[in-house]
Every structure is written in structure tokens, then in C-alpha cells.
Chains A and B, each alone.
Chain A
């Protein structure tokens, strides 16, 4: 760049980075770009490879994670799976037949989307386990609003009808638990479908000719 051009652009020589600074920035940029690639590669839904996961977590995560940059950017939006449907939370005093507290309820926009993400977390869980720890917190947070220390929490998956049957479907309960405070402890008692707790084992019909001992 000529001196005249530099003057036209209001650029002083002092604005240009010295070689040492440029070299330092180059190293930092190269390291960051490697970290960016590793973050994308290891935060995909397919899960990280052991090698890439270890390299990233030991070298790059201490810098990227606090800055909210250790991200996969896997913004898929929807595959049409059950877990992609909208979810809602319902809270009510334990055993009550009254009007439940519905979250997000009638609100819209990004605020509503955050409530739905919270509901989905309870229903689907995360990498490190199911959503019961989150459910316990949400239930506890509902104590003050419902003026009780014993609440029923339910999460519903809203219908996601297929194009072939657009009018079908109803909200499906995908998580239910009772959350209560006993002394200073918060207890979560999950209401699990019987089939999950004690799956039916049907006796196999005996093969012909097999005798009893």
C-alpha cells in the first residue's frame, strides 16, 4: 500500500501491527481455528471420537467453554422425531384437580422457546443423564408460585401430526413426577409407567414333545 493511499484511508503507520504482533496473532488465530474445528467435530449429535474429545477437552475447552464458544452449531431444527416436537410443563398442587400452572402458557417468542427447551430437557434428558435433576429444580421453583411444598409436575409432548394424517394426535404425557419438600430436603418421586418399572415377561409356550421334569 502506498503512502498516499494510506493517508487517504486515514491509516497511520502506528495502526499496522508489527511483525512480532502479527506473528503472535497468527499463532492465536491458527490455534483458535483448530479449536473451532474440534468443537464442531466433538459437539455433534454423533458424539466425539475419543482422540478428538481428549485433545479438545485438554487443550481447547478451558478457553472455549467459559466463553460459550465450545459449540457444535448443529442447528438441525427438526428431523420430525418425537423429541423434536414442542414440549410444555404443567405444575399443580399434589392431588389437586384445579387449574394447573402451564409453562410457557400463552406467551410467545423467544421467552416461550426457552420454556419449551426447559420442558424438553426434562423429557429427553441430556448427555449426562435424564432430566430428573432439572425436574426437581422446576418442581421446587413451583412451591412458591403454587403456595404449597408438594407439587405434581408433568411434561407433555405436543402433537406433531404427519402430513398424511394432519388432524391426528393429542398431547402426550412424557414425564410425570411428584416433587415435595420433606424437612429441608426436596424429594422427587417419579411416576414411571408400569411397563418400564416391571416389564411383563410372558412365559414362552413349551415346544412340542418337551416333557416336564
Chain B
């Protein structure tokens, strides 16, 4: 594997060179120093996604979680998993709930600009999980992906490039790093989750007849927020079938293709366009954006 400048060529366990042992493959995948810029790009995009998703709570925050809100704390507690917990449980007044929410937005803003980046990523991940646990029945697929992205960022030096942290460090006379093995750890986690999440979604979809008989695209177009292509599907059943099968085929391609050097970059670049399109077709545009963010470091754009 080579690393140079801000470029990125990630290796995977399947890019076997020579006669490596399992331990060497593991070390190469998780600990080879990697450039910081791809992780920085993920940080900025994740922060923007976080602001968008958090903002969707803003207008109804007190309507849902306020002292006389529609989702009382005991109801939320009954619906969350056994070990789930929320900082909002300790917030009994409108002011304290609003303050916690403002802290969440602030943490996401710090993630975007790269100020105290790693701390901001951890804070954003904790506050985001708290917000989701406060109303688990409101959470959607994009929220799940954002949570994963934040924890992956927290594992590495996400503020090492394209950040205020780097500007401040340079002004203080510190030589900024271009690579880090901890960046590789973060990128490895993003890589693994990109494949795992796609595979899990694919398996869930293939349990339903609609994804086999080609009608899923019709049902997706019926959903609020989705691009309504039902007029086009009425005109051509083949088009409806094609869109359905194309989504499934792409998910198979992405889940497997990002593990091989020969296909990784091409598949990831296709994914930068395909995931947002699937998100729009499915009525989950922010989920599409989240999945595209997973593909950014694999696309080797720099």
C-alpha cells in the first residue's frame, strides 16, 4: 500500500500481497498510516448531515419532549432498548431541554469547522444518541447512519486536515501531520460499516416479495418525500422492474466491490451518485447522503 500527500489508496484484507499472514493482513488494514484528508472530508460532510438531521427536531423539540410534550419520558424509556439512556431524562424544564439541544447543534458546528474536532465528535455522538433515545420512535435510517459516522470519526484524528485545529496548530508552530495510523483505524471502521450496513439493508429488502418481483420501485414512489415516478412506471412496467433490480444490484456491487482493489475506487465513485439517487427514490434523501459519505474515503477523490 502506498500513502502519499493527501491521496488515499486504502488496502483491504482481500488485496493480498505475497504470502501475508492473517496478522499482517489485519495490521495492514487497520494500522497502516493513512492520509488525514479523506477523514477530514468525512468529518465536514458528517457535521453538515448532523446539522440537517438535528434541525428536523428543532421546531417540534418542546412539542415532543417538553414538560407537557407528546412523548413523556416514561413512554420513551419504555420504548428504548434495555441499556438505552438519555441525557434528556435529566432535563425537566423547557430551558434545560433547549440548552441540551443547542449543545448538540454546537457540537455539530464544531465538527464541521474542525474545532476541538475529536472532542466535538465524541460530544456530538453522545448528544445525538441521547436525542434519539429520548424519542426512539422518531428515529429513522439516516439517524442510525449518522450515529455510526460520528463514532467512527471519534476513533481517529478527524481534525488533522481542513480544520481550525490545523490552522491553530500551524500558527503555534507545530508541524501538521499528513498521515496517521489512527486515521487508518477510522477509515477501516467506515469501510467495514459501509459494507455491513449495505448488506443488512439488502438482506432486509430481499425478505419481501416486492424486491424480487420488481414492484418495490412503485411502492417507494408512493411514499411521502420520494420522487413520484408512478406516472413513468404506469407507462412502463419494465422501467419499474429495472429501477427495483438496479437498486438491489447496486447494493450487492457496493457491499462486495469496495473490498477489492480493482473495483473499489470505481464502485465508490458510482456510489457517490447512486446512494443519493436511491435516497431520493426511497423518500429518505438524508439516508442516501449518509451512505454516500461512507463512500467518500474509498473514492480517492484527492
Which of A's residues lie within 8 Å of B, judged by CB? 1, 8-12, 15-17, 22, 25-26, 29, 33, 36-37, 40, 44-46, 57, 61-62, 64-81, 84-86, 108-118, 121, 126, 128, 133-134, 136-138, 140-145, 158, 160-163, 166
With an 8 A cutoff between CB atoms, is B220 at the interface? yes
Query: Quick check: A15 and B63 within 8 Å, CB to CB?
Result: no
B71 touches A141 (CB 8 A): yes
- Name the interface residues of B118-145: CB closer than 8 Å to any CB of A: 125-126, 128-129, 132-133, 135, 137-144
Shortest beta-carbon distance from B242 to chain A in Å: 14
A44 to B35, CA, bound (A): 36
Q: Does B268 contact A (CB under 8 A)?
A: no
The residue in chain A whose Cβ has the minimal distance to the Cβ of B148 is A69
Report whether B33 and A9 are in contact in the complex, using a CB–CB cutoff of 8 Å. yes
Partner of B230, one of A46, A71, A166: A166
Is A73 a contact of B219 with CB atoms below 8 Å? no
Closest Cβ of chain B: how far from A58's Cβ, in Å? 11
Cβ contacts under 8 Å, B57 to chain A: 111, 114
Within 8 A of A (CB), among B14-70: 26-27, 30-31, 33, 35, 52-53, 56-57, 59-60, 63-64, 68-70
Selecting from B93-101, B197-205, B256-264, the interface stretch reads: B197-205
Asked whether, in the complex, the Cβ of A22 is within 8 Å of the Cβ of B192, the reply is no
In the A-B complex, the 9 residue pairs with the closest CB atoms: A141-B70, A79-B208, A74-B204, A110-B56, A65-B83, A73-B200, A68-B129, A78-B219, A80-B219
Question: B29 — nearest CB in chain A belongs to which residue?
Answer: A29
Q: Are B177 and A80 in contact (CB under 8 A)?
A: no
Q: Could you say which interface size class chain B belongs to?
A: 35 or more
Which chain B positions have C-beta within 8 A of A37?
A: 196
Q: Give Cα distance in the complex from A109 to B279, angstroms.
A: 12
Q: Which of A36, A61, A111, A166 contacts B234 (CB 8 A)?
A: A166
Per the bound structure, the CA–CA distance linking A89 and B35 in Å amounts to 49
A85 CA to B57 CA, complexed, in Å? 22
Asked whether B282 is an interface residue with its Cβ less than 8 Å from the other chain, the reply is yes
Separation in Å of the B140 CB from the closest CB of chain A?
6
State which of B33, B185, B223 has its C-beta within 8 Å of the C-beta of A25. B185
Is B92 engaged at the interface, CB distance under 8 Å to the other chain? no
19 contacts between A and B (CB under 8 A): A1-B33, A9-B3, A11-B177, A15-B180, A15-B182, A25-B31, A44-B204, A61-B81, A66-B129, A67-B126, A68-B129, A68-B132, A73-B196, A74-B203, A75-B205, A76-B211, A79-B210, A112-B225, A144-B68
Asked if A137 and B177 sit within 8 Å, CB to CB, the answer is: no
**A76 CB to nearest chain B CB (Å):** 4
A35–B63 Cα distance when bound, in Å, is 35
Set A36, A86, A162: member contacting B196, Cβ < 8 A: A36
Given A76-B204, A134-B75, A163–B218 Cβ distance below 8 Å? Answer: yes
**Max chain A C-beta neighbours (<10 A), residue from B4, B180, B220, B240:** B180
Give the Cβ gap from B291 to chain A, nearest Cβ, in Å. 9
Task: Say yes or no: is B178 at the interface (Cβ < 8 Å to chain A).
Answer: yes
A114 in contact with B79 given A76-B207, A76-B208 (CB within 8 Å): no
From B147, B200, B201, residue with most partner A Cβ within 10 Å: B200
A110 near B52 with CB under 8 A, answer: yes
